[in-house]
Amino acid sequence: MDFALTDDQKALAAAAADFARAELAEHAADWDARSHFPVDVIRRAGEAGFLGIYTPEAQGGLGLSRLEASLIFEQLAQGCIATTAYLTIHNMVTWMVASWGDDALRERYVPAMIAGEALGSYCLTEPGAGSDAASLKTRAVREGDEYVISGSKMFISGAGATDVLVVMARTGAPDSGAGGVSAILVPADAAGVEVGKKEEKMGWKSQPTCLISFDGVRVPVTNRLGAEGEGFKFAMKGLDGGRLNIASCSLGAAQQALTLSRDYLAERKQFGRELSSFQALQFKLADMASELTAARLMVRHAAWRLDQGDPEATAHCAMAKRFATDMGFTVCNEALQLHGGYGYIREYPLERLVRDTRVHQILEGTNEIMRLIVARRLLAGGVIESLQ
């Protein structure tokens, strides 16, 4: 069993780290303070190849594996967690259009999305359908060669600043459950699309989050991704990778917090000694590093299983997401504690790391839902034995 990264994978991680230092880290605090969405920097991320990371090469993307995507997102998150989190969402939307759109739809949108000329939002969550995504009520009624879409979507990242909306809408009967959901591409400037007020959030302030309403929005049937009724399946496939993506952002945040803590303990003195000489603080640093390493191994293992098409990949992605996002928040919170009062003020980045990582335990499926996914698989015959 070889855990070593290849030279190409190391080069990808190094390139992402360089971009994070040059384009993200210096500005993250300012973007957070101003709630500024850095569209210009996101477009430069497209120039660097980071907007089509796992979009197939045939469609102009890099065609990288989910493991390689994880390496990139972990490094980018050390520059700015919130901006990187948006990049993960845009990558997912681009991949979905490239994977399941017809030729004309791909040709129209994918090159612009990879270049950052058209940004994407993913529209699944509704005011009354969060964790229970299969109960969504946004409707897409077919009239001839068009769908007429009505309903609303909540907590949409990038809303108001993006151009392409991948909307999960019910094309089947109201009681059709997961099998009655279709994925439809809606241009953000289509008549009847309305963006609500920008939510005031605890963290992730450098990306807008809004409600989007659809009032009789008409789009061609050819804007549907895949066949009618396949949308929920696509959503779940997207979420497997999305969970790894957000877990990778937590890894990057925890790595930054750990590095900052090591440096602070070496510099700060109390009672005539460097903080790094106190055994209790040494133990705290050791625990933070141990938990981060365990989480990183889980995320990379789950990514490998997803790349291999493993039948239990969904459960492994859920386990990795739950563990890594819990760990990421805990490590950042412990780092804030190690910094004492300095950690609580905005001059230091710790309070922002804590705020930005907290939402990772909620989105892409709450960590309670992750436990439910794992538990259901564990109760199936032979699954527990397969974990060995």
Q: Could you list the active site residues?
A: 364
Burial class of 307 by CB neighbour count within 10 A (0 to 12, 13 to 18, 19+): middle
Q: Are 336 and 351 in contact (CB under 8 A)?
A: yes
* CA 281 to chain centroid: 32
- 8-state DSSP, 25: T
Residue 251's CB: how many other CB atoms inside 10 A? 29
Helix, coil or strand: residue 184: strand
d(Cα 267, Cα 339) in Å, to the nearest integer?
Answer: 11
- 139 backbone dihedrals φ, ψ, rounded to 5°: -105, 145
E strands present in the chain: 120-123, 139-143, 146-157, 164-170, 181-187, 193-198, 209-220, 224-225, 269-270, 273-274
Q: Which residues contact 120 (CB under 8 A, 6 or more apart)?
A: 89, 90, 93, 94, 97, 113, 158, 162, 163, 164, 165, 166
Q: Could you tell me the CA-to-CA distances from 86 to 37, 119, 152, 213, 301 in Å, in that order?
A: 10, 10, 21, 21, 24
* CA 151 to chain centroid: 24
E strands present in 269-371: 269-270, 273-274
Half-sphere exposure of 274 (CA within 13 A, CB side): 10
